[in-house]
Structure 1
Amino acid sequence: MNSETPNDEREVIIDAEGEPLGGFLTLPPGSHTLVLFAHGSGSSRFSPRNRAVAAELNRAGFGTLLFDLLTADENRIDEQTREYRFDIPLLAKRLTGALDWAHLQPDLAQRHYGLFGSSTGAAAALIAAALRPTLVRAVVSRGGRPDLAGQALPRVQAPTLLVVGSEDHQVIELNREAAAAMGQPPQLELVPGATHLFEEPGTLDQVVRLAIDWFDTHLS
């Protein structure tokens, strides 16, 4: 890839089954992939951690789509009531809608799709993978709650990587329980010294390396 050629970066409005959702689409030159991000509870397309991960994926040649899972009105309500951030069926519906939207765009339709989910967004990613098995080729979960995907877990066919901090003990157990329920056994990686948000120095870098390797193996 020519490092002097700039990425195609643009703001987009995604029609997710009739709901307009704002997003940031970044397509490195020569890329044939697209990784859609599903952020965690109470977050948005402006999430610093997901933006950092997306930027590193872009440098590695992967296209990325960061977008809001809630509309502006829903987000305002959620800031007061928190009634939407744990609505996993709604989040999964929006992510699936974003996949369908991407598949209809002329410059995105033929790409290999991956999903990157964080916290509750990981459950939405696994449900979307189960609902769109011919589209989703790989899933990465960062500090995720795959257990919240419930009955969708046995139907997930996409190769899945579960990344959890070694100090995030409760979430480790929830990931192990979810892994046991999945039809295709996922790979579980523990990042040494990391807690739930991977705020410790160097831990998010390790997540990035694991994600790049996973998507490089299953999307390229």
Structure 2
Amino acid sequence: MSPAEAQTVSLLLDGHAHQGILGLPGVPTGLVIFAHGSGSSRLSPRNRQVAGTLQASGIATLMFDLLTEEEDRTQANRFDIDLLGRRLVQACHWATAQPSLAPLPLGLFGASTGAAAALQAAADAPQSIRAVVSRGGRPDLAGEALERVQSPTLLIVGGDDTTVIQLNRQAQALMHARCELEVIPGASHLFEEPGTLEQAADRATAWFGKWFRAASMA
């Protein structure tokens, strides 16, 4: 498969321009929108690595900044899940307004606090989001939204990230949607150990591929 084309895009979210990177394979089978974690951005090297794996399988990706530079200077904004979730829903609306992206099934990939934002967005846009993946995420921060999520959800956690494993199990117990917990042995919170991020990316790619195929056959 030929390399994905990278396009710089601008999304108008809550009245402000947010920069994004759209990765488009030749014939995309779906689109995954990324929600980065606290203190990160569209340039997150780990998310970019996951995006590359998704693109290699034929899935388009969109990475964008959830906060403006000014907003990011206020620590509380990084943990405002309602705000971040709303921005994600707006990004989904942006994607569905693009002729090349509108027909594609949508998925959300969240890391750290971005996982809670992804689940909040999935709860608020249940007809739009076909699947959600969390990597080293804090789904527990989504609160009451967990019970409203209808999208099949995969929670990927490092085996050495014991506190976050427990928080993910608690969140999983509150969800009514299909939800699986995948523990990557030997991985810490940031999946910095050799081969662990690749395993997480492969699990995410398989999950999105499965539910995007189901959507295309519906």
* The two structures share one fold, judged by TM-score above 0.5: yes
CA distance in structure 1 between the aligned counterparts of 2:107 and 2:175, rounded to whole angstroms: 18
Tell whether the 8 Å contact from 2:149 to 2:177 is kept in structure 1 after alignment: yes
Question: Matches of residues 76-87 of structure 1 in structure 2 within 5 Å?
Answer: 77-78=73-74, 82-87=75-80
Matched, 1:216 2:209: yes
CA distance in 2: counterparts of 1:90 and 1:17, whole angstroms: 10
Q: Corresponding residue for 2:161? A: 168
Contact 2:21 2:64 in 1 (8 A): yes
SS at match of 2:198: helix
Provide structure 2 residue ranges, at least 5 long, that are not aligned to the other structure: 214-218
2:83 paired residue among 60, 67, 90: 90
Instruction: Give the distance between the partners of 2:92 and 2:29, measured in 1 at CA.
Output: 15
Shift of 1:8: 2.9
Instruction: Output aligned runs, 1:40-189, within 5 Å.
Output: 40-75=37-72, 77-78=73-74, 82-189=75-182
Aligned counterpart in structure 1 of residue 185 of structure 2, from 173, 186, 192? 192
Distance between the aligned counterparts of 1:89 and 1:190, measured in 2? 27
Q: CA deviation at 1:32?
A: 3.0
After TM superposition, give the deviation of residue 104 of structure 1 in Å: 1.2
Conservation of the 8 A alpha-carbon contact between 1:141 and 1:163? yes
Match for residue 13 of structure 2?
A: 16
Fraction of identical pairs, as percent: 55
Length, aligned pairs only: 213
Give deviations 1:87-141, integer Å, cap 9, x for gaps: 1111111111101111111111111000000000000000100111111000000
Look up the equivalent residue of 1:40 and give its one-letter code.
G
Give the distance between the partners of 1:176 and 1:40, measured in 2 at CA: 20
The CA distance in 2 between the partners of 1:16 and 1:218, in whole Å, is: 27
The Cα RMSD (Å) is: 1.1
Distance 1:104 1:120 in 2: 27
TM-score by length of 1: 0.94
Q: Which runs of 5+ in 1 are unaligned?
A: none
Question: Following the alignment from structure 1 to structure 2, what is the Cα–Cα distance between the partners of residues 39 and 166?
Answer: 21
| TM-aligned CA deviation for residue 200 of structure 1 | 0.6
For 1:219, give the aligned amino acid.
F
Matches of 2:143 and 2:166, distance apart in 1: 15
**What CA deviation, in whole Å up to 9, does each residue of 1:134-160 have, x standing for no partner?**
110000000000000001011101000
